[in-house]
Structure 1
Amino acid sequence: MRSPTMTTGSRAADSADSPILEEAGESGSEQKPKPLVKYGELVILGYNGYLPAGERGRRRSKFVLYRRTQANGVRRSKHYVVKTPHSSEAILDASQHSISYTLNRNQAVIVEYMEDPDTDMFQEKATKWTENHEIDGLTTNGVLIMHPRGDFCGGSATCGPWRETSVGGAVFSLRESRSAQQKGLPCLAETNVLRDGTMIDLCGATLLWRSAEGLKNSPTKRDLEALVDELNAGRPQCPVGLNTLVIPRKLAGGGGGAPDLNQPYVYLHCGHVQGEHSWGKDGGEGSRRCPMCLTMGPVVRVCMGLEPAFYVDAAPPTYAFNPCGHMASERTVKYWASVDIPHGTNGFRAICPFCAEPLQGSPGYVRLIFQDNLD
Structure 2
Amino acid sequence: MSHAAVKYGKLIVLGSNGAEDRTKSHFHLCERPTANGWKPSAGHMGVNQSVSMGDQHRVTYTTPVTTIVVAYCRDKHTDMFQIGRLWPGTESQIDFPVTDTVAQSDGRSLISRFACRIICQRSPPHKAHIYAAGFDSSNNIFLGLDAVKWETDDGQMDGLTTNGVRVKRPSGAWREISVRGHAFAPREHHGDRGIRVDGYEPQELMDGSLIDLGGVTLLWRTAEGLANWGLTDSLELYKH
TM-score class, shorter: 0.5 to 0.7
Larger Rg: 1
Inter-CA distance 175–212: structure 2 relative to 1 (3 Å threshold): same
Q: Does 1:85 align with 2:95?
A: no
Partner of 2:179: 167
Inter-CA distance 33–188: structure 2 relative to 1 (3 Å threshold): same
Q: Choose from 5, 8, 13 the match for 1:44.
A: 13
Inter-CA distance 81–163: structure 2 relative to 1 (3 Å threshold): same
Partner of 1:145: 167
1:147-176 CA deviation, whole Å, 9 max, x = no partner? 113xxxxxxxxxx21111111100001111
Aligned partner letter, 1:112: A
2:43, 2:228 → 1: CA distance? Answer: 45
Q: Does 1:120 align with 2:120?
A: no
Partner of 1:129: 150
Deviation at 1:122, TM superposition (A): 2.9
Larger RCO (CA within 8 A; separation ≥ 6) = 2
**Secondary structure of 1:216 counterpart:** helix
Instruction: Judging by fraction of residues, say which structure has more strand.
Output: 2
Preserved contact between residue 79 and residue 109 of structure 1 (Cα < 8 Å): no
Q: Superposition pairs for residues 1-375 of structure 1, below 5 Å?
A: 34-46=3-15, 56=21, 58-82=22-46, 84-87=47-50, 91-103=51-63, 105=65, 107-123=66-82, 124=114, 126-131=147-152, 132-149=154-171, 160-176=172-188, 180-191=190-201, 192-219=203-230, 309=231, 311-312=232-233, 335-338=237-240
Aligned partner letter, 1:136: D
5+ long unaligned stretches in structure 2: 83-113, 115-142
**Secondary structure of 1:39 counterpart:** strand
Deviation at 1:37, TM superposition (A): 1.2
Preserved contact between residue 109 and residue 133 of structure 1 (Cα < 8 Å): no
Count of aligned positions: 176
> Structure 1: which 4+ aligned runs deviate by more than 6 Å?
none
2:224, 2:186 → 1: CA distance? Answer: 30
Aligned partner letter, 1:142: G
1:120-154 CA deviation, whole Å, 9 max, x = no partner? 223335211122442211111211101113xxxxx
What is the alpha-carbon root mean square deviation over aligned residues? 2.8
Deviation at 1:100, TM superposition (A): 4.6
2:211, 2:18 → 1: CA distance? Answer: 23
Inter-CA distance 95–139: structure 2 relative to 1 (3 Å threshold): closer
TM-score when scaled to structure 2? 0.63
**Secondary structure of 1:184 counterpart:** coil
Inter-CA distance 80–213: structure 2 relative to 1 (3 Å threshold): closer
Preserved contact between residue 59 and residue 70 of structure 2 (Cα < 8 Å): yes
5+ long unaligned stretches in structure 1: 1-31, 150-159, 220-308, 314-331, 339-375
2:44, 2:160 → 1: CA distance? Answer: 22
Deviation at 1:94, TM superposition (A): 2.1
**Secondary structure of 2:72 counterpart:** strand
**Secondary structure of 1:79 counterpart:** coil
Deviation at 1:76, TM superposition (A): 1.7
Aligned partner letter, 1:140: T
Identity of aligned residues (%): 40
**Secondary structure of 1:214 counterpart:** helix
TM-score when scaled to structure 1? 0.42
**Secondary structure of 2:41 counterpart:** strand
Deviation at 1:189, TM superposition (A): 1.1
Deviation at 1:85, TM superposition (A): 3.2
Preserved contact between residue 61 and residue 67 of structure 2 (Cα < 8 Å): yes
2:192, 2:151 → 1: CA distance? Answer: 14
Preserved contact between residue 85 and residue 100 of structure 1 (Cα < 8 Å): no
1:171, 1:52 → 2: CA distance? Answer: 30
2:18, 2:70 → 1: CA distance? Answer: 45
